Structure 1
Amino acid sequence: MLEILHSGLYSSIQDLGRFEYRNYGVPVSGVMDEYHAKLANHILGNDENDAVLEMTLQGVSVCFHEATQIVICGAYLSPILNNQAVRLNVPLNVSKGDQLKFGKRNYGVRTYLAVKKGFQTEKILKSRSYYDAITPKSRIATGDFIPYQAHVKQIGSKANIALQKEIFINKEIHVYKGPEFDFLSKQQQEKLFNTEFSIGLNNRMAYQLHETIENECPSIITSAVLPGTIQLTPSGKLIVLMKDCQTTGGYPRILQLDQKSIIKLAQKHTRDKILFKKLSIL
């Protein structure tokens, strides 16, 4: 068991999500940054879909009640194991009673803690991903116990995987044209790709952008949306849907992020700047 001594700001158990229930209105959910979650699992020899602990801006404080191996990947939140700073992207052996905590955020927004064979929380609709109204809770809380399988065989820590700095510092967000993109005038389209947008309110459901685009689009019937869909509201505000987004929406869908750009956006913070770069249809 992993005992949660302090839950951090917004921490939850996530795997790659639910993909077979959108027709019932069930969101995909899953890790916001698939690259670093998969990387953590790969370093441990886990299945890439094994559940990890996702932390946002502020890390947890935990106690391990069984020996295992762990990896931390993603944003640098100054991890400390038994009062000693540890590196990202390397396997670490932990013993019963060891404690892990996090400190100052240096870069990025989300970081991932993986354990050998993954966290063994309940599967609901073929996924362990927390989501309010699907799972009993949407985030972990201080005092929770998260199950995992004990693994006493120690592993070496010679891995040296380079940090993908582009994910954290690159402002370019690659997008495809959305179904209603051509509703925009040429001037609106040019403004869309020549404006440096700043991130406003954001969470696992959506990122709002501060700058606006004049909206003269006709209304549409409620239609399917996906993580990465960018909607244009009547007020001209842009909303980028993320992993916990709804399955349908009634605002024009003017752009669609590619998968790598969802990952980059998941590591951006309030007031960070982004630029949209249009991709050709494959």
Structure 2
Amino acid sequence: MIKVLKAGISSSIQDLGRTSFREFGVPVAGSMDLYSSKLANALLGNADSDAVLEMALIGTKLQFLVPTQIAITGANMSPTLNGQAIANNQLYAIESEDILTFSASKNGLHTYLAVKGGFNTDVLLGSRSYYSGITPQSVIKNGDVLKIYTFSTEGNFEKQYSKLKPFNFSSEVLNVFLGPEFSLLSTQQKDQLFNSSFKVSNLYNRMAYQLLPQIENDLPSILTGPVLPGTVQLTPSGGLIVLMRDCQTTGGYPRVLQLSESSINLLAQKKENDTVVFNFID
């Protein structure tokens, strides 16, 4: 068990998400930066699908009530264990009553805490991922007690080695494919998309990131069509909206681009005023 002493700003249990219920309108959810989530699990020898704790911008303060092992990946939130600094991308033994504290992110946005065997919260529609309307809560709260497996570190503390390596959050390049309505854009609009830089606005969350500046647009809305995490929509006002893990399953704005999976992970580590550019890949 882990007791939540301070919940942070937007901390939640996430895994790979709900991939089998989109036809019923259920969002995928899951870790915003799936790469870092998988890396944390890999360092512990967990399955990719094991649930982790995702923290955004400002992290948590946690008290462990049982022994376990942990790994931390993603954004650097200056973690400390019983007041002593520890590092990302390392394996640590935890004893009962240990206190793990995170601060504000120094680089990136999302940090991941994995425990040996994964977080043992309830499975709903095939996933432990928090999502409002499916799980009882969308974020953890002060005083919550999170279920984990007890794992004694005596005699079996062994670092796992993974082919996964932390990726560079400083990159600004988002690799994209052309979306279904890209061909409807004018030459000028296409030029703006691929020869301009954009900044993350103050409107960004697990559902979508809005980018600035807007581009000129006179395309009409479309009949509702399927959308995915990474779909880039162009609104009637010329705004670019990049859908993220908690996005809806259908939408009525032209779908002009589609981010690659690695670029969704990269964008998930960007915050307000960070710069991105689109790069077309075949």
Q: Same fold (TM over 0.5)?
A: yes
Amino-acid identity (%) = 51
Aligned: 1:178 with 2:179: yes
Distance of aligned partners of 1:165 and 1:19 in 2 relative to their CA distance in 1, 3 Å threshold: closer
- Higher mean C-alpha deviation, range 51-60 or range 153-162: 153-162
- Higher mean C-alpha deviation, range 104-113 or range 90-99: 104-113
Using the size of structure 1 for normalisation, the TM-score is: 0.96
Corresponding residue for residue 219 of structure 2: 217
How many aligned residue pairs are there? 279
- Higher mean C-alpha deviation, range 214-223 or range 247-256: 214-223
Corresponding residue for residue 81 of structure 2: 81
Corresponding residue for residue 259 of structure 1: 261
AA at the equivalent of 1:52: V
Corresponding residue for residue 151 of structure 2: 151
Query: Deviation string for 1:101-153 (max 9, x for gaps)?
Result: 01242211000000000000000000000000011000000000000110003
| Counterpart Cα distance in 1 of 2:143 and 2:163 | 33
Using the size of structure 2 for normalisation, the TM-score is: 0.96
- Higher mean C-alpha deviation, range 152-161 or range 5-14: 152-161
RMSD: 1.5
Give the secondary structure class of the aligned counterpart of 1:212: coil
Corresponding residue for residue 240 of structure 1: 242
| Counterpart Cα distance in 1 of 2:118 and 2:86 | 20
| Counterpart Cα distance in 2 of 1:77 and 1:161 | 24
AA at the equivalent of 1:64: F
| Counterpart Cα distance in 2 of 1:116 and 1:158 | 11
Can you give the 5+ residue segments of structure 1 that lack an aligned partner in the other structure? none
Displacement of 1:156: 4.1
Give the secondary structure class of the aligned counterpart of 1:71: strand
Displacement of 1:163: 6.2
Displacement of 1:210: 1.6
| Counterpart Cα distance in 2 of 1:35 and 1:209 | 23
Give the secondary structure class of the aligned counterpart of 1:209: strand
Give the secondary structure class of the aligned counterpart of 1:245: coil
Equivalent runs, 1:259-278 vs 2, <5 Å: 259-278=261-280
Give the secondary structure class of the aligned counterpart of 2:266: helix
Can you give the 5+ residue segments of structure 2 that lack an aligned partner in the other structure? none
| Counterpart Cα distance in 1 of 2:221 and 2:68 | 54
Corresponding residue for residue 189 of structure 2: 188
Q: Is the 8 A contact 1:90 1:158 kept in 2?
A: no
Distance of aligned partners of 1:162 and 1:252 in 2 relative to their CA distance in 1, 3 Å threshold: closer
Corresponding residue for residue 170 of structure 2: 169
AA at the equivalent of 2:68: T
Query: Deviation string for 1:207-264 (max 9, x for gaps)?
Result: 0012111112233100000000000000000000000000000000000000000000
Displacement of 1:68: 0.4
Displacement of 1:158: 8.7
Q: Is the 8 A contact 1:69 1:92 kept in 2?
A: yes
Give the secondary structure class of the aligned counterpart of 2:188: helix
Displacement of 1:164: 3.4
| Counterpart Cα distance in 2 of 1:53 and 1:62 | 11
Give the secondary structure class of the aligned counterpart of 1:143: coil
AA at the equivalent of 1:122: D
